Amino acid sequence: MVGVGEHHPPRLLAEIPDHAGGELRVKTGGKLTPRDRLLNQLLDLLEDLLTVLLHISLHLERVADMAVNLAKISWLTRGLPRHATVLRQLEEMGGIALELLEAAMEALVRRDLELARRLPSMDEPIDRLNRGMLAEVLGASDDEAMLKWAIEMHLVSRLIERVGDHAVDIGEQAAFLVTGVFEEFSDASHPAMERREAPRFQTGAQG
Protein backbone atom coordinates (compact mmCIF):
# COMPACT_ATOMS: atom_id res chain seq x y z
CA MET A 1 0.00 0.00 0.00
CA VAL A 2 1.23 3.45 -0.89
CA GLY A 3 1.37 6.64 1.17
CA VAL A 4 3.23 9.92 1.16
CA GLY A 5 6.98 9.38 1.40
CA GLU A 6 6.78 5.64 0.67
CA HIS A 7 8.61 4.04 -2.22
CA HIS A 8 7.86 0.56 -3.51
CA PRO A 9 10.33 -0.80 -6.09
CA PRO A 10 9.51 -4.04 -7.87
CA ARG A 11 9.34 -6.71 -5.17
CA LEU A 12 10.37 -10.36 -5.04
CA LEU A 13 7.65 -12.55 -3.62
CA ALA A 14 9.85 -13.75 -0.78
CA GLU A 15 10.06 -10.12 0.44
CA ILE A 16 6.31 -9.53 0.53
CA PRO A 17 4.91 -9.72 4.09
CA ASP A 18 1.69 -11.53 4.89
CA HIS A 19 -0.90 -8.72 5.12
CA ALA A 20 -4.16 -7.72 3.42
CA GLY A 21 -4.22 -10.36 0.74
CA GLY A 22 -0.58 -11.39 1.15
CA GLU A 23 -1.59 -15.01 1.53
CA LEU A 24 -2.89 -14.89 -2.03
CA ARG A 25 0.51 -14.10 -3.49
CA VAL A 26 2.60 -16.75 -5.16
CA LYS A 27 5.73 -17.61 -3.16
CA THR A 28 8.02 -20.01 -4.94
CA GLY A 29 11.42 -19.36 -3.37
CA GLY A 30 12.87 -19.39 -6.87
CA LYS A 31 12.29 -17.72 -10.21
CA LEU A 32 8.81 -16.44 -10.90
CA THR A 33 6.92 -17.32 -14.04
CA PRO A 34 5.32 -14.52 -16.11
CA ARG A 35 1.95 -15.67 -14.76
CA ASP A 36 3.22 -15.36 -11.17
CA ARG A 37 4.49 -11.84 -11.80
CA LEU A 38 1.21 -10.83 -13.40
CA LEU A 39 -0.80 -12.21 -10.49
CA ASN A 40 1.28 -10.42 -7.92
CA GLN A 41 1.20 -7.13 -9.84
CA LEU A 42 -2.58 -7.39 -9.98
CA LEU A 43 -2.69 -7.97 -6.22
CA ASP A 44 -0.46 -4.94 -5.65
CA LEU A 45 -2.81 -2.83 -7.75
CA LEU A 46 -5.81 -4.15 -5.83
CA GLU A 47 -4.19 -3.21 -2.52
CA ASP A 48 -3.47 0.30 -3.78
CA LEU A 49 -7.03 0.71 -5.05
CA LEU A 50 -8.51 -0.44 -1.74
CA THR A 51 -6.19 1.93 0.13
CA VAL A 52 -7.29 4.86 -2.04
CA LEU A 53 -10.97 4.06 -1.49
CA LEU A 54 -10.41 3.78 2.26
CA HIS A 55 -8.65 7.15 2.39
CA ILE A 56 -11.42 8.80 0.38
CA SER A 57 -14.14 7.31 2.58
CA LEU A 58 -12.36 8.68 5.65
CA HIS A 59 -12.16 12.14 4.10
CA LEU A 60 -15.87 12.06 3.28
CA GLU A 61 -16.71 10.87 6.78
CA ARG A 62 -14.80 13.80 8.29
CA VAL A 63 -16.55 16.24 5.96
CA ALA A 64 -19.88 14.85 7.14
CA ASP A 65 -18.80 15.30 10.78
CA MET A 66 -17.91 18.91 10.03
CA ALA A 67 -21.33 19.48 8.47
CA VAL A 68 -22.93 18.25 11.69
CA ASN A 69 -20.74 20.59 13.74
CA LEU A 70 -21.66 23.51 11.49
CA ALA A 71 -25.34 22.77 11.99
CA LYS A 72 -24.88 22.66 15.76
CA ILE A 73 -23.07 26.00 15.80
CA SER A 74 -25.78 27.55 13.65
CA TRP A 75 -28.44 26.35 16.08
CA LEU A 76 -26.58 27.53 19.17
CA THR A 77 -26.01 31.02 17.75
CA ARG A 78 -29.47 31.48 16.22
CA GLY A 79 -30.48 34.24 18.64
CA LEU A 80 -27.32 36.34 18.38
CA PRO A 81 -26.88 39.42 16.17
CA ARG A 82 -24.99 38.79 12.95
CA HIS A 83 -22.20 40.65 11.22
CA ALA A 84 -23.07 41.14 7.55
CA THR A 85 -19.49 40.99 6.23
CA VAL A 86 -18.64 37.83 8.17
CA LEU A 87 -21.83 36.15 7.02
CA ARG A 88 -21.19 37.08 3.39
CA GLN A 89 -17.65 35.69 3.51
CA LEU A 90 -18.83 32.45 5.11
CA GLU A 91 -21.46 32.01 2.42
CA GLU A 92 -18.79 32.54 -0.24
CA MET A 93 -16.47 30.04 1.44
CA GLY A 94 -19.24 27.46 1.75
CA GLY A 95 -20.14 27.75 -1.92
CA ILE A 96 -16.53 27.25 -2.98
CA ALA A 97 -16.14 24.27 -0.64
CA LEU A 98 -19.17 22.56 -2.18
CA GLU A 99 -17.77 23.18 -5.67
CA LEU A 100 -14.44 21.70 -4.55
CA LEU A 101 -16.05 18.53 -3.24
CA GLU A 102 -18.05 18.11 -6.43
CA ALA A 103 -14.93 18.64 -8.56
CA ALA A 104 -12.89 16.20 -6.45
CA MET A 105 -15.48 13.45 -6.83
CA GLU A 106 -15.80 14.18 -10.55
CA ALA A 107 -12.02 13.89 -10.92
CA LEU A 108 -12.17 10.54 -9.15
CA VAL A 109 -15.04 9.12 -11.19
CA ARG A 110 -13.70 10.37 -14.53
CA ARG A 111 -10.02 9.83 -13.62
CA ASP A 112 -9.49 13.42 -14.67
CA LEU A 113 -5.89 14.25 -13.78
CA GLU A 114 -6.08 17.85 -14.99
CA LEU A 115 -9.14 18.55 -12.85
CA ALA A 116 -7.55 16.89 -9.82
CA ARG A 117 -4.46 19.09 -10.15
CA ARG A 118 -6.61 22.23 -10.39
CA LEU A 119 -8.11 21.65 -6.94
CA PRO A 120 -5.37 23.45 -4.95
CA SER A 121 -5.85 26.66 -6.96
CA MET A 122 -9.62 26.31 -6.55
CA ASP A 123 -9.03 26.05 -2.80
CA GLU A 124 -6.96 29.24 -2.57
CA PRO A 125 -9.94 31.63 -2.17
CA ILE A 126 -11.14 29.63 0.85
CA ASP A 127 -7.71 29.86 2.45
CA ARG A 128 -7.55 33.60 1.76
CA LEU A 129 -10.98 34.26 3.25
CA ASN A 130 -10.21 32.11 6.27
CA ARG A 131 -6.99 34.03 6.94
CA GLY A 132 -8.90 37.31 6.87
CA MET A 133 -11.68 36.12 9.15
CA LEU A 134 -9.92 37.02 12.40
CA ALA A 135 -9.78 40.68 11.44
CA GLU A 136 -13.51 40.64 10.75
CA VAL A 137 -14.15 38.99 14.13
CA LEU A 138 -12.11 41.64 15.93
CA GLY A 139 -14.05 44.28 14.05
CA ALA A 140 -17.20 43.10 15.81
CA SER A 141 -15.68 43.48 19.28
CA ASP A 142 -17.65 46.65 20.15
CA ASP A 143 -20.86 44.63 20.51
CA GLU A 144 -20.53 41.82 23.06
CA ALA A 145 -23.36 39.71 21.67
CA MET A 146 -22.15 40.12 18.10
CA LEU A 147 -18.60 39.34 19.19
CA LYS A 148 -19.81 36.07 20.69
CA TRP A 149 -21.47 35.20 17.38
CA ALA A 150 -18.38 36.25 15.41
CA ILE A 151 -16.09 34.07 17.52
CA GLU A 152 -18.27 31.05 16.72
CA MET A 153 -18.20 32.03 13.06
CA HIS A 154 -14.41 32.04 13.18
CA LEU A 155 -14.68 28.35 14.08
CA VAL A 156 -17.13 27.87 11.22
CA SER A 157 -14.60 29.48 8.88
CA ARG A 158 -11.96 27.03 10.01
CA LEU A 159 -14.29 24.07 9.50
CA ILE A 160 -15.12 25.18 5.96
CA GLU A 161 -11.41 25.64 5.25
CA ARG A 162 -10.82 22.07 6.36
CA VAL A 163 -13.57 20.85 4.02
CA GLY A 164 -11.61 22.40 1.17
CA ASP A 165 -8.46 20.65 2.35
CA HIS A 166 -10.28 17.30 2.37
CA ALA A 167 -11.44 17.92 -1.20
CA VAL A 168 -7.83 18.56 -2.24
CA ASP A 169 -6.78 15.35 -0.47
CA ILE A 170 -9.41 13.41 -2.42
CA GLY A 171 -7.97 14.93 -5.59
CA GLU A 172 -4.53 13.63 -4.59
CA GLN A 173 -5.93 10.12 -4.35
CA ALA A 174 -7.68 10.50 -7.71
CA ALA A 175 -4.42 11.63 -9.31
CA PHE A 176 -2.61 8.62 -7.85
CA LEU A 177 -5.09 6.27 -9.52
CA VAL A 178 -4.25 7.86 -12.88
CA THR A 179 -0.46 8.23 -12.60
CA GLY A 180 0.65 5.53 -10.16
CA VAL A 181 2.61 8.28 -8.36
CA PHE A 182 1.42 9.65 -5.04
CA GLU A 183 2.09 13.36 -4.79
CA GLU A 184 0.81 15.71 -2.11
CA PHE A 185 -0.38 18.80 -3.91
CA SER A 186 1.04 22.16 -2.94
CA ASP A 187 -1.40 24.83 -1.77
CA ALA A 188 -1.65 27.49 0.91
CA SER A 189 -2.15 24.96 3.70
CA HIS A 190 -0.24 21.96 2.29
CA PRO A 191 3.47 22.35 1.43
CA ALA A 192 4.59 20.25 -1.50
CA MET A 193 5.93 16.80 -0.71
CA GLU A 194 8.51 14.85 -2.65
CA ARG A 195 7.07 12.80 -5.46
CA ARG A 196 7.32 9.06 -4.87
CA GLU A 197 6.68 6.40 -7.45
CA ALA A 198 4.35 3.51 -6.77
CA PRO A 199 4.59 0.02 -8.27
CA ARG A 200 3.91 0.14 -11.98
CA PHE A 201 1.80 -2.45 -13.71
CA GLN A 202 3.85 -4.34 -16.26
CA THR A 203 2.39 -6.89 -18.65
CA GLY A 204 5.65 -7.99 -20.23
CA ALA A 205 7.65 -10.88 -18.81
CA GLN A 206 10.96 -10.17 -17.16
CA GLY A 207 13.90 -12.52 -16.94
Contact (Cβ atoms closer than 8 angstroms) between residue 148 and residue 79: no
State the total domains in the chain. Answer: 1
* Residue 86 counted as domain residue: yes
* Residue 3 counted as domain residue: no
Where residue 109 sits, what CATH number does that domain have?
1.20.58.220
* Residue 99 counted as domain residue: yes
* Residue 22 counted as domain residue: no
Cβ atoms within 10 Å of 149's Cβ, excluding its own: 23
pLDDT at 204 over 60: no
pLDDT at 45 over 80: no
pLDDT value, residue 42: 77
* Residue 161 counted as domain residue: yes
How many residues does the structure list for the chain?
207
Query: Whose CA is closest to 37, among 200, 161, 181, 197?
Result: 200
* Residue 16 counted as domain residue: no
pLDDT value, residue 171: 95
Percent over 70 (pLDDT), the chain: 75
Entry pTM: 0.71
At 206, the amino acid letter reads Q
pLDDT, tens digit, for every residue of 116-146? 999 999 999 999 999 999 898 888 878 899 9
CA distance 38 to 56: 27
CA 207 to chain CA centroid, Å, is 39
